Chain A
Amino acid sequence: MTTVPGDLAAALAGLVGAHHVRAAPAERLAYAMDGLPTHRRLPRLAVLPGTRDEVVAVVRLLADLGVPFVPRGAGTGLSGGALADHDAVLLVLTRLNRILKIDVANRCAVVEPGVVNARLSAATAPHGLHYAPDPSSQTACTLGGNVAENAGGPHCLKYGVTTSHILALEVVRGDGRVVTLGSAGGEPWGPDLVALFVGSEGNFGVATRITVRLVPLPRAVRTLLADFTSLRAAGAAVSAIIGAGLVPAALEMMDHSCIQAVEDSVYAAGYPRDAAAVLLVELDGRNESAVEEEAQQVAGLLTGQGARQVRQAADAKERERLWQGRKKAFGAMGRLSRDLVVQDAVVPRSSLPVVLETIAAIAARYDLVVSNVFHAGDGNLHPNISFDARDAAMAARVEHASAEIMATCIAAGGTITGEHGVGLDKLRYMPLVFDGDSLGAMHAVRRVFDPDERVNPGKVIPIHACREWSGVRNAEFGMRNVRSRVDSAFHIPRSALEI
């Protein structure tokens, strides 16, 4: 790294104003974590530009000085992707929070990256439109972060994840160059670089303008709550619904311990406390009678798979209450213990019953509380492990159980993350799903966008596991991953570092 001449904070203050540079230790501490409780990094400093031009100016200055930086939105990410090392600057984008355009006729909007997800849908609702991807953190998370992580959410079952809703992007690359990817109508302009950028976890640059697709609000909605006496039966009900060719807007599952946590919290939704699992199923469409018929069909399938009771939300208020419990489940689980690892993996939907039972057995073996709340319709699991990070032995058990859960999901034909991203947390698992050439290809692609690897360094690709690619020298750039290992609360298995 180049030695920084003079005072970086002062130089940045000259660009964005002293008030928007956070250099004092107490100020930096506020940015030491994101939504992942197992990692903590104190950034060199945080800078909060207020406009796109300020972003460009800041990025250019950092490029001139050779300083690495990490783009960050609201910091709700669950994989440690928005953490910066002591030599890196956090580029906080929350001040770029303007909705620049709502184009009702063409059903799209142009926003800055700091716009909060739910705020966009609130702004478009009067026009009968909404932004469909709805992560559980949607009242806090930003669209820039959603793009970086390719965020999902309950309603992505029917409407698709973030990548299906991004039409065009204005991107500031690591050297400060600005490029526009895609077109407003969604047709790629050349190879599909929008698809490549979405989900790149900040490694390819900073999205400063995001053109999103808007979808008409459904006119007819039915929300069903079904409760089961076994996880296996609930899992089988999911397969029955998908196998019948029905496409619910959302199909969510919560297990017994998650139900308890929700019902003990201020978000109590009236879920039956004695159930082994509940399924929350939402159907929507344009036509009342057609949606009602589908709801009846789903209710029949749920009952046929052993649901004790199938309750239909009587009105919008009850529907909101049922959803509130689901969306705040992570928060409610936070009350169970000092720390919570929110895991994220995906399996084929038909393997849900077996995988859920295996996870329960792993939890029992390691004497840990694992609560499941997840997007069952997509097979996207969130086994959440409650623990106390101060207890080293317990933290070690959490690490081993997490690794076994990941191995179980991979063995079932699944993958290590469906919507939370790799960040720092999943680096060690990447070699379990990709070989050295495939990881090497990703690393090489990253270097096309960011040859110096200064943008969000050390994330996503475990450099040591990459097979060497022409023109890409791995050893030199492997240092950051090595340091990640030292800073991590978790031990990285040796196997993850070998080709």
Chain B
Amino acid sequence: MSLLDKVRALLGGDAVLEGPASGEVPRVAPPTPDAVALLLGTAHEEGWRVRVEGTGSWLPPDAPADLTLTTRRLDRVTAVEPQDLVATAEAGIGWDALRQQLADRGAWLALDPPGVAGRSLGSVVATGTAGPLRAGFGPVRDHLLGVTFVTGDGRIIQAGGRVMKNVAGYDLTRFQAGAFGAFGVIVLVHLRLRALPRADETLVLEGPAEELLAAADEIRAAELAPAALELLSPALARRERWALAARLVGSPAAVAAEAGDLRALAGGRFAPLRAEEAHAFWSRAAEAFALRPVTLRVGGLPEGGEELLDLVRHQLSDEWVSAAPGLGSIRWAGDTTADRLRRLRRALAALEVPLTLERAPWALRSAVGHFGAYREGVGPLVSGLRHTFDPKGTIVTAVEGDE
């Protein structure tokens, strides 16, 4: 029996979206977590290599594999509890659909990941790609209460739960955030929500990057803590010059007070955007990261932010750059080579700063890896964990690269 026949026998004919006739490997869309487990369990036994995708908008579907497992049919929001500010959603749901269903119930997931609006929830969790709101609401892991994932050998693992605090057992929930699929396929996510903010305002300051970084320092020194404070390159901001954008969310009184304080800084040049302008500003910047071949993030310290930005601009380019000066983190997009990435990674490692490759063609990500070389002693732990959750390497992912 061919692979395709076996998959059809296991999951039914309509689980196979595309056959090899289209020039691609079969794309299989299991309709339930159990079906994902069945597929991966069989793949493990048969020695098939499986690449995983959500809606297919973030990582290119180019990893060498015998089949593609897409979570796109796992697209239900199974529970929204606005009273408890908790929701449960399957991993394949698109971000825009999830956001809308939450908003209908007055709830909000305080994450604004890079990528197109239809990007899947599972993709955001697996790659740990938080956007500018990370400044106020933390990284992706801080929004997770629990995840259900399927290991490379087809076991369904439940981690965490649906409550605000949980220390029952080891934290396999946060551990899944940003693991790039190395430890299984995320099928279900329990999310920590916020109430939809009653006030949401964005103010923008334009100027040379250096001047804006100084303004960001001033804001930080004044202990102003916007939900997002992001420095965007002109192309990303769609402006003539660099832009420093502050997003304030919360009660009308708190937002008004913060906006007043912000305008008092930087020579009173922060200009508010209208609501629809603000929405377009942030979503265009997020989407731009899905349009270049390569996206990466760098996580340093606030104090060294300027130096890191110079390094990234100098060694790569400065067309598509978004930086959170208060956090010392930078996201970059563009086109580059494995050699240049390796060189930048080495320079950053000397500063004790990690570089995570978020998105790239397979040739590049398999060469340099999402993470590259680990620090001393970490490699054996990661390999051990990878072996635990995917003993035969059924799930194709390039966490380490070939260095």
Contacts and interface: CB of A to CB of B under 8 A. Distances in A.
Interface of A: 105-108, 128, 149-150, 152, 156, 160-161, 163-164, 173, 177-181, 183-193, 195-196, 198-200, 203, 216, 219, 239, 242-247, 285-287, 289-290, 293-294, 297, 346-350, 375, 378-380, 413-422, 426, 429-430, 433-435, 437-439, 441-442, 444-446, 448-449, 460-461, 469-470
Interface residues of B, number: 81
A222 to B, nearest CB: 13
A294 B251 contact: yes
A2 B378 CA distance: 28
Contacts of A198: 171
Nearest to A461: B169
Interface of B: 81-86, 106, 128, 138-139, 141-142, 151, 153, 155-159, 161-172, 174-175, 177-179, 182-183, 194-198, 223-225, 251, 253-254, 256-258, 261, 297-303, 327-329, 352-354, 356, 371, 374-378, 381-382, 384-385, 388-389, 391, 399
A163 B171 contact: yes
A294 B183 contact: no
A59 to B, nearest CB: 14
Contacts of B171: 150, 163, 195-196, 198-200
B153 A470 contact: yes
Majority secondary structure of chain B interface residues (helix, strand, loop or mixed): loop
A293 B167 contact: no
Contacts of A380: 164-165
Given A160-B138, A286-B261, A349-B83, 14 more contacts: A108-B301, A163-B174, A164-B142, A184-B301, A190-B378, A190-B399, A191-B183, A193-B382, A216-B225, A286-B258, A380-B164, A422-B168, A433-B168, A444-B388
16 contacts: A160-B138, A180-B375, A184-B301, A189-B375, A191-B399, A196-B174, A244-B195, A245-B106, A245-B196, A245-B198, A287-B254, A350-B84, A415-B163, A415-B168, A441-B388, A460-B169
B257 A287 contact: yes
A428 to B, nearest CB: 12
B329 A185 contact: yes
A152 B167 CA distance: 10
Contact of B84 (A189, A242, A442, A448): A242
A348 B167 contact: no
A8 to B, nearest CB: 27
B81 A418 contact: no
B195 A379 contact: no
Given A178-B377, A179-B378, A449-B381, A441 B172 contact: yes
A495 B230 CA distance: 53
B83 A437 contact: no
Contacts of A470: 153, 388, 391
A150 B385 CA distance: 21
Contact of B167 (A150, A187, A192, A446): A150
Contact of B381 (A108, A193, A245): A193
Given A294-B254, A413-B162, A422 B85 contact: no
B172 A185 contact: no
B49 to A, nearest CB: 19
Q: Which 4 A-B pairs have the closest CB atoms?
A: A187-B299, A245-B195, A179-B377, A195-B174
Most-contacted residue by chain B among A180, A184, A191, A195 (CB, 10 A): A191
A189 B378 contact: yes
Nearest to B385: A448
A45 B33 CA distance: 49
Given A187-B356, A449-B381, A290 B83 contact: no
A360 B116 CA distance: 51
Nearest to A194: B174
A378 B165 contact: yes
A219 B169 CA distance: 37
A300 to B, nearest CB: 13
A192 B179 contact: yes
A327 to B, nearest CB: 18
A441 B151 contact: yes
